[in-house]
Amino acid sequence: MKNLVLMFLLALLVVATASSLWRMFAETVTIDGVRPPLVAIGTDPVPPFPPAPPKPTN
Amino acid sequence: MESNLLHYVWQDSGILIEASLVFYLAWTSQWKGQGAVDFYLSSLVVGQLTRACFLHEYGWTSLRYYYAYWSTDFLLVLSAFGVVCLFFRRACLHEEKMWRLIRIFLVLLLVLVAAISGVSLSLNRHDFFTYFVVVFNQKLYFACLVLNTLLYLMLHRMNSADDQLELLVCGVGIQFAGPAATLALVYLTYGGRFAKLLAYQTIPLCTFGMLLVWAYVIVYVPRTAGGLTRRDVLLPAVPAQESKL
């Protein structure tokens, strides 16, 4: 039981650290007033964020 | 897109390296011995081929590519979390008691991230996909970054003899820490002159760096038997005359 509580607290600490990192760097960053791409995995080109609205079709 | 050619070079080289490594692992019969590595490389190949198809078909700014990119990213982040868990397992191969604790910790961590994301999603139902991507993917990504750092510190604390595992963890570290560090740099420089270039190029570059490190490890660094720890190895006794010197 004691170990379970300890592990829960450790997990909470890791989530809090991750959340703080994300809030500090990813959420608030803007370049020329536009939000840059978020962190991701892969060697593909990252799509712009937020996405461009779809063009209206005639 | 400012530099189409560079983007395509990164993308195609990445897929080529991943496919080559999967083929090499299968060819040299290392497939079963590298549970985490082949699982992650296979996920990367599948995810990136899907993205490449959508990119080729619909273009970089299309909404479909956007959805395909972040949907596959969700799978890749989950795979990355799985890889970090399997690396923890490999590090604790002879420490069953420690592994039981770490297993509870990892499960609790995933449940916590899902629970926090669930709360946030329930408040923003109008734009489910965007919030899902932002909240769950990003938080799990940063959680993996913290976990990987903890694993690296744990390996040093345990004085692990598994050199291959250490290098694999370093490779994952490049992939996770690189984009986060770039965002930090962009934040600190208030979106300066090279911010846009950095922000768009770093993610492919860091994954490419990870693939190169993994390629070196898989081809050149042999796996030590079962993740033995160096602390059990007895040091040779120093002769009395030498010790006086």
The DSSP result for B162-231, as a single string, is -HHHHHHHHHHHHHHHHHHHHHHHHHHTTS-TTHHHHHHHHHHHHHHHHHHHHHHHHHHSPPPGGG-BGG
| Lowest mean pLDDT, pick from B50-64, B77-91, B177-191 | B177-191
Determine, yes or no, domain membership for B241.
Answer: no
- Residues 6+ away with beta carbon under 8 Å from A11: B105, B108, B109, B112
Please answer yes or no on whether A42 and B44 come within 8 Å at the CB atom. yes
pLDDT of res. A32:
59
pLDDT digits (tens, 9 = 90+) for B116-135: 888 877 777 777 777 777 67
Determine, yes or no, domain membership for B239.
Answer: no
Tell me the β-bridge partners of B160. B229
Q: Tell me which DSSP letter residue A31 carries.
A: B
Residue from A9, A15, A41 whose CB has the most chain B CBs within 10 Å, to mutate: A41
Cβ–Cβ pairs < 8 A, chains A and B: 165
pLDDT digits (tens, 9 = 90+) for B24-74: 888 887 666 667 888 899 999 999 999 999 988 888 888 888 888 888 988
pLDDT digits (tens, 9 = 90+) for B136-166: 888 888 889 889 999 999 988 887 777 888 8
pLDDT of res. B70:
86
**Pair B104, A9: CB distance under 8 Å:** no
Nearest to B204 among A26, A44, A53 (CB): A44
Closest CA to B76 of B151, B136, B5: B136
pLDDT of res. B82:
93
Determine, yes or no, domain membership for B243.
Answer: no
For A34, B1, B49, B134, B243, the CA distances from B124, given in Å and listed in that order, are 21, 31, 31, 11, 70
pLDDT of res. B84:
92
Number of domain units in chain B:
1
What are the two backbone dihedrals, phi and then psi, of residue A31, each rounded to the nearest 5 degrees? -120, 115
Q: What domain range is B121 assigned to?
A: 2-225
Nearest to B138 among A26, A29, A31 (CB): A26
pLDDT confidence bin for B231, thresholds 50/70/90 = very low
Determine, yes or no, domain membership for B233.
Answer: no
The 10 Å CB-count burial string (b at 16+, else e) for B174-189 is bbbebbbebbbbbbee
Q: What's the pTM?
A: 0.81
Determine, yes or no, domain membership for B28.
Answer: yes
Residues of A in contact with B187 (CB under 8 A): 24-25, 28-29
**Pair B244, B198: CB distance under 8 Å:** no
- B169-178, B186-195, B229-238: range with highest mean pLDDT: B169-178
Which residue reads 């081809």 in tokens?
B219
pLDDT confidence bin for B78, thresholds 50/70/90 = very high
pLDDT confidence bin for B229, thresholds 50/70/90 = very low
Residues of A in contact with B183 (CB under 8 A): 25-26, 29, 36, 39
Q: Could you tell me which chain B residue has the CA closest to the CA of A38?
A: B138
Series of mean pLDDT values for 10-residue runs along chain A (58 residues): 77 78 67 64 78 52
Residues of B in contact with A57 (CB under 8 A): none
Determine, yes or no, domain membership for B242.
Answer: no
Domain of residue B44, CATH code: 1.20.1070
Determine, yes or no, domain membership for B245.
Answer: no
CA distance B241 to B221: 38
Tokens of B128: 């489910």
Q: For the complex shown, is ipTM > 0.85?
A: no
Determine, yes or no, domain membership for B244.
Answer: no
